[in-house]
Structure 1
Amino acid sequence: MTDTNDTSAMGALWKAQAMQPRVLPADEIHRRHAALERRVGRRNLIEYLTAAMMIVGIVGLVLLDIRLGAFGGRSIGLILLGIGGGVVAWQLHRRTGGRAAIDGAQPSIEAYRHTLRRERDALASVARWYIGPLVPGMATIYVSAFLKVPPGGRLLVIALAAATAIAMIWVIRLNRRGAEAMAAELESHDRFSNL
């Protein structure tokens, strides 16, 4: 049987031990920061190219509508969608385009944290700046198609609109999960830096 004084003494000794904070070595911070910046750069490049191709395609379709004398609701929706794509590309650059370089001007961990915060904030608000600008164009296209097709084809238009809405919700959820992961990493860095 153990003596209660021994147990309480061991507990006091355990509590008195100094906590060793988890400190990332400088090379690990540089590696993580560079990997994150590469991932963001690749993603942004893909998004910019996608927006550019979308805008070129939309211009072609609108010009075709004009040439065929079919300029109408769909054409207006396409124009709105193209404008939305431009807004998305601009917002992506504005929110995530500036890199926080590890150059000695600030501690490496602060540059990495800055990049994590920037990405977390951008991912968490993707519904507003990424999905939001595309909604007016998509809604106009679907409403125009719904009004134009014969009654038997309206169910297909509704199904396509629902599939688009589900895809948009999926993109929002996926980005929010990414934001939560970055928030957790930031929280762990903050917790250990405050010890």
Structure 2
Amino acid sequence: MPYEPPPDLATLSLEDIAALAQARDLPPVDQWRPTQVADSLMQITADGRWFHDGGEITRPAMIRAFSSLLWRDGDGQHWLVTPQEKQAIAVDDAAFIATDLVQQDGALAFRLNTDDIIVAGPDHPIIARGDADTPALYLAVRHGTEARLNRSTYAQLVELALASDDLSVISTGARFSLVPA
């Protein structure tokens, strides 16, 4: 069955967004304990492109499938995980890129470069890193992985934060400062 990307975030209600976020049937990567370890010869560059053995992976369906197997350990190493094996994958910055944002009914919903939809909140915090001169904003995705906000999504979020006294945003009841600590 061919993959149908979700519609534009701006056209969806918060209920529709939540349903789409829940509908993605992801493998239970966090429950698997593979015994074999290898190198995948894969890399995700800072601009979100995927490579295998030096060649770019250009099929969105493959990237979407691989991304569902991603897990990041406590040391920051990213892995592609199956029940039998985990393979190291080099990630230059973040495994995902947040490419769009919509604010509705007290929630901030992000679309990722893999068409995943993530609603920011206690389970998916917005994280400010860097410093005042070179700030970077990230969104926790799943299994320790993160999405870096691209330039336009960053600008959208900052515009929302400028309405607050402390450069922060609120999503599903949680407040997130956009000022790097």
TM-score of the aligned structures, taking structure 2 as reference length: 0.22
Larger RCO (CA within 8 A; separation ≥ 6): 1
Q: Name which one, 1 or 2, has greater alpha-carbon Rg.
A: 1
Which structure: greater strand fraction? 2
TM-score of the aligned structures, taking structure 1 as reference length: 0.21
